[in-house]
Amino acid sequence: MDRVVKKMEIDILTLFPEMFEHVFQESIVKRAIESEKVKINIHNFRDFSLDIHKKVDDTPFGGGQGMVLACQPIFDAVKHFRRKESKVILLTPDGVPYKQKHAYQLSREKHLILICGHYEGFDERIRTLADMEISIGDYILTGGEIPAMVLVDSITRLLDGVIKESSHLEESFNQQLLDYPTYTKPRVYEGMEVPEVLISGDHQKIDAYRKEEARKRTLERRPDLLKEGKSFENKETD
């Protein structure tokens, strides 16, 4: 996997910057920031509102429930931060379902701008700002802040030097398979034993066992991934 980005910058546009205060100060994301593999900037797009009260929403034309995010603050915020190499992503329930392959693709970008929607929705014209629309699942969240956190976490761990490449290449969803089962000490716990092959010392047999277990687990729990993998292979050979 070719990963040439040495440092990424991510600008997150949100109404609730305080939600991100502690999330990126833990674990691998924190390590990526401290090692200067990624720079993450959180911006309140209310700061770009021209309204005297910093209002960013309004009632929808045609009537309906709730308030809708208006164009002006978000357009001005994106225009302010966007540059030639930027990729703008809108977090929305009707975006493309987020997959590991998207995390890999986005990890090669130099600059990401993430727009977090909120309230009952956003003015349809805001879509014209986005290079890509992403959904993290078929359920309703209060806003795009948690999806933005998901993207940042999944992308930054793939940046060069953040973790060992061999670690993430063996994780779930690579090669369209779930991860194989893993064990640690003790060898026997409440009558449950570690499979004999894992303590055999035969690495060829261990590799074969793990591949087969990953395939079996995927077939049992997520057969759709195997179908997606075959579909992708067919497209590659066409």
Q: What is the CATH number of the domain that holds 178?
A: 1.10.1270.20
Residues 227-238 have a mean pLDDT of: 53
My answer on whether 121 and 182 are in the same domain is no
Q: Which residue has the higher pLDDT, 15 or 232?
A: 15
My answer on whether 179 and 145 are in the same domain is no
Q: Report residue 149's pLDDT band, with 50, 70 and 90 as the boundaries.
A: very high
My answer on whether 33 and 150 are in the same domain is yes
Tokens representing 81 are 């931060």
For residue 1, is it within any domain?
no
| Of residues 122, 8, 13, 151, the one with CA closest to residue 78 | 13
What element of type H or E holds 233? helix 223-237
What is d(CA 3, CA 38) in angstroms, rounded to the nearest whole number?
Answer: 14
Q: What angle do CA 220, 175, 163 make, to 5 degrees?
A: 115
My answer on whether 147 and 107 are in the same domain is yes
Q: What percent of the chain has pLDDT over 70?
A: 88
My answer on whether 211 and 101 are in the same domain is no
My answer on whether 130 and 22 are in the same domain is yes
Q: Report residue 232's pLDDT band, with 50, 70 and 90 as the boundaries.
A: very low
Query: What local confidence, expressed as pLDDT, does residue 140 receive?
Result: 86
Tokens representing 79 are 């225009």
Range of the domain at 180: 170-237
| Of residues 121, 127, 114, the one with CA closest to residue 154 | 114
- Whether the predicted pLDDT of 237 surpasses 50: no
My answer on whether 42 and 119 are in the same domain is yes
Q: Report residue 206's pLDDT band, with 50, 70 and 90 as the boundaries.
A: very high
For residue 84, is it within any domain?
yes
Q: Tens digits of per-residue pLDDT, 154-187?
A: 999 999 989 866 555 555 445 678 889 999 999 9
- Sort 68 into a burial class: Cβ within 10 Å, 0-12 / 13-18 / 19+: buried
My answer on whether 123 and 214 are in the same domain is no
For residue 31, is it within any domain?
yes
For residue 2, is it within any domain?
no
Q: What is the CATH number of the domain that holds 40?
A: 3.40.1280.10
- Under 8 Å between Cβ of 200 and 36: no
For residue 163, is it within any domain?
no
Q: Tens digits of per-residue pLDDT, 29-40?
A: 999 999 999 999
For residue 87, is it within any domain?
yes
For residue 110, is it within any domain?
yes
Least confident range of 89-98, 188-197, 227-236: 227-236
| Of residues 11, 161, 177, 135, the one with CA closest to residue 82 | 11
Query: What local confidence, expressed as pLDDT, does residue 118 receive?
Result: 79
Q: What percent of the chain has pLDDT over 90?
A: 72
Tokens representing 61 are 């034309």
My answer on whether 32 and 148 are in the same domain is yes
My answer on whether 90 and 179 are in the same domain is no
- Whether the predicted pLDDT of 231 surpasses 60: no
Last residue of a domain, one of 156, 183, 201: 156
Termini Cα distance of the chain: 22
What is d(CA 128, CA 74) in angstroms, rounded to the nearest whole number?
Answer: 11
Write phi, then psi, for 229 (nearest 5 degrees). Answer: -65, -45
For residue 161, is it within any domain?
no
My answer on whether 78 and 189 are in the same domain is no
Number of domains composing the chain:
2
Query: What local confidence, expressed as pLDDT, does residue 236 receive?
Result: 44
pTM of the entire predicted model: 0.84
My answer on whether 74 and 178 are in the same domain is no
Last residue of a domain, one of 128, 156, 184: 156
